[in-house]
């Protein structure tokens, strides 16, 4: 059945994997007539039946064929879309924790409903991760009727600025109507309720920041997330490869007194050459013993316990930290080289491009030390409260899968970093044309020296086109606009 289909994909290992799904596709198709005969009430009751069967010992894999057949029929009745056979294979791959490469327009959003429903039966939450807020709410509303019909709740996460700084989220409610697109069929609830829903749609950043906020919570009942069970990532290559190392950071103002920076800037200006050692290579400045004595006289306080110099108090550690940054600012960071001063502000200069970077600030109090050195107003320091990269966050999920139009080129990275396999799927038309008894077949023709493919009926002697594949023309460069116009005549 899949022999020709897998030949299109190429490679014996892939063919063996895809051929193994043919029995499952046939089993799901065999259940379709039975599902069509069932009433709406009988289909709705299937969710409770599946949960009871799981409680009796059946596994998700044992329920796969029947649950997928139910979702396919419900999709037809609610949103008028029917999962194609090739989409069934994609859904099975997602359930198995693999990454599926599907071309744009081949129904990734619809495919995800099957593994989402199946895994949601465990009651531990399923997350569908998208790249922006619009797709999160669009997909939740689009596929929401399927889940709502089957008795599952749907949560929707949106950016913090729209949800009371991340304290709120939304639940899908088909009864709520609004002329505003961003709240149509969405009811605002506590963030925790959106995560308590059977399935939750949201962006990678919102899931990651909620994890950070939960780790900063002062009690367990203030946390929003309930664990990391199963996630499907849309545009998975963008999230897990392109932005994998991007850190999510929650920061806030430091409580350090700006006057301390000014005080240390004055102290280091009074030091002599023998008071410190500068290492240009390591970009560090260290006080000598003579220097420590000099600083202690200036401050009129000890920097260390003379009997136990390794033991320092919290206040002494804070002063030494400020002193170190003041020394670096004075002796390593040069005006009009590492930074410039404009409008009473210190602006960093990119060492590679020479461009100014307004808005960027050095961390750990260094920027404040430079501001104090230059005598401009010292702005409050920001400190990092919590941080995590997207790569580290998504590795917390027990099962991870994804969809994208371009994954095969990154297959090695996916396998090495996330231990996830990648399989490409053909388009629905390619799949149909590759079947032995198909009523479509591929044909080729040439136009202006370019070769193209289209689909025709096998019994049509003239091979008239029924469907066209995308036409990719060769690039042609013209010397002038007149030459281009002449070529089109």
Residues 6+ apart with CB under 8 A from 433: 440, 441, 442, 455
Q: What's the pLDDT at 15?
A: 60
Give the Cα separation of 208 and 225 in Å (integer).
10
Give the Cα separation of 274 and 380 in Å (integer).
32
Q: Which of 111, 150, 145 is nearest to 128 (CA)?
A: 111
Tell the CATH topology of 258-380. Pre-protein croslinking domain of SecA (3.90.1440)
Give the Cα separation of 409 and 422 in Å (integer).
10
For the chain, the structural domain boundaries read 3-250+389-432, 258-380, 439-487
Looking up tokens 């991870």 gives 400
Q: Does 258-380 match 3-250+389-432 at the fold level?
A: no
Q: How many residues does the chain have?
A: 489
**pLDDT per position in the chain (489 positions), as tens?**
444 444 444 444 666 777 789 899 999 999 999 999 999 999 999 999 999 999 999 999 999 999 999 999 999 999 999 999 999 999 999 999 999 999 888 899 999 999 999 999 999 999 999 999 999 999 999 999 999 999 999 999 999 878 888 899 999 999 999 999 999 999 999 999 999 999 999 999 999 999 999 999 999 989 999 999 999 999 999 898 888 888 898 887 777 788 899 999 999 999 999 999 999 888 889 999 999 999 999 999 888 877 776 778 888 888 999 999 999 999 999 999 999 999 999 999 988 788 898 878 888 889 999 999 999 999 887 778 899 999 999 999 999 999 998 888 888 888 888 888 899 888 877 777 776 777 777 777 777 777 778 788 888 787 787 787 776 667 778 888 887 777 766
Give the Cα separation of 454 and 239 in Å (integer).
34
Contacts 24+ apart (CB under 8 A), 444-452: 449/474, 450/474
Q: Is the dihedral of CA 356, 362, 368, 374 positive or negative?
A: negative
Looking up tokens 């050459």 gives 273
Q: What's the pLDDT at 6?
A: 44
Give the other-Cβ count within 10 Å of 392's Cβ: 15
Are 97 and 87 within 8 A, CB to CB? no
Q: According to CATH, what is the number of the domain 3-250+389-432?
A: 3.40.50.300
Residues 6+ apart with CB under 8 A from 228: 127, 396, 397, 398
Are 400 and 418 within 8 A, CB to CB? yes
Cα end-to-end span (Å), the chain: 48
């Amino acid at each position: 059945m899949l022999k020709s289909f897998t030949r299109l994909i190429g490679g014996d290992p892939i063919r063996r994997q895809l051929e193994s799904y043919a029995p499952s596709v046939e089993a799901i198709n065999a259940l379709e007539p039975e599902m069509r005969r069932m009433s709406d009430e009988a289909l709705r009751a299937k969710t409770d039946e599946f949960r009871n069967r799981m409680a009796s010992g059946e596994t998700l894999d044992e329920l796969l064929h029947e649950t997928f057949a139910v979702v396919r029929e419900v999709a037809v009745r609610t949103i008028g879309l029917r999962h194609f056979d090739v989409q069934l294979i994609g859904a099975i791959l997602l359930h198995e924790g693999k990454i599926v490469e599907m071309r744009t327009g081949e129904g990734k959003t619809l495919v995800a409903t099957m593994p989402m429903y199946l895994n949601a039966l465990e009651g531990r939450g399923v997350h569908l991760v998208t790249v922006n807020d619009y797709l999160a709410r669009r997909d939740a509303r689009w596929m929401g009727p399927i889940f709502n019909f089957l008795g599952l709740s749907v949560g929707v996460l949106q950016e913090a600025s729209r949800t009371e700084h991340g304290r709120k989220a939304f639940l899908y409610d088909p009864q709520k109507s609004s002329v505003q697109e961003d709240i149509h069929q969405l009811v605002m609830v506590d963030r925790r309720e959106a995560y308590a829903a059977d399935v939750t749609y949201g962006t990678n950043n919102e899931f990651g920041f909620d994890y950070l906020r939960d780790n900063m919570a002062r009690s367990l009942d203030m946390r929003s997330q309930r664990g990391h069970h199963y996630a499907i990532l849309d545009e998975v290559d963008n999230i897990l490869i392109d932005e994998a190392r991007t850190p999510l950071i929650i920061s806030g103002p430091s409580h350090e007194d700006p006057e301390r920076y000014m005080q240390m800037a004055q102290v280091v200006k009074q030091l002599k050459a023998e008071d410190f050692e500068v290492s240009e290579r390591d970009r560090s400045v260290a006080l000598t013993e003579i220097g420590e004595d000099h600083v202690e006289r200036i401050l009129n306080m000890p920097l260390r316990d003379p009997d136990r110099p390794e033991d320092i108090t919290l206040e002494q550690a804070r002063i030494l930290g400020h002193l170190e940054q003041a020394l670096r600012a004075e002796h390593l960071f040069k005006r009009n080289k590492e930074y410039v001063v404009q409008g009473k502000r210190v602006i960093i200069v990119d060492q590679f491009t020479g461009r100014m970077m307004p808005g960027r600030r050095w961390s750990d109090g260094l920027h404040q030390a430079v501001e104090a050195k230059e005598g401009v107003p010292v702005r409050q320091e920001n400190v990092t409260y919590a941080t995590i990269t997207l790569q580290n966050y998504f590795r917390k999920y027990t099962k991870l899968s994804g969809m994208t139009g371009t994954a095969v080129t990154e297959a090695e990275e996916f396998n090495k970093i996330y231990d996830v396999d990648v399989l490409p799927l053909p388009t629905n038309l390619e799949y149909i044309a590759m079947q032995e008894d198909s009523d479509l077949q591929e044909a080729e023709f040439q136009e202006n020296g370019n070769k193209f493919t289209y689909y025709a009926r096998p019994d049509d002697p003239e091979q008239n086109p029924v469907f066209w594949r995308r036409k990719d023309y060769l690039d042609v460069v013209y010397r002038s606009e007149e030459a281009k116009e002449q070529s089109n005549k």
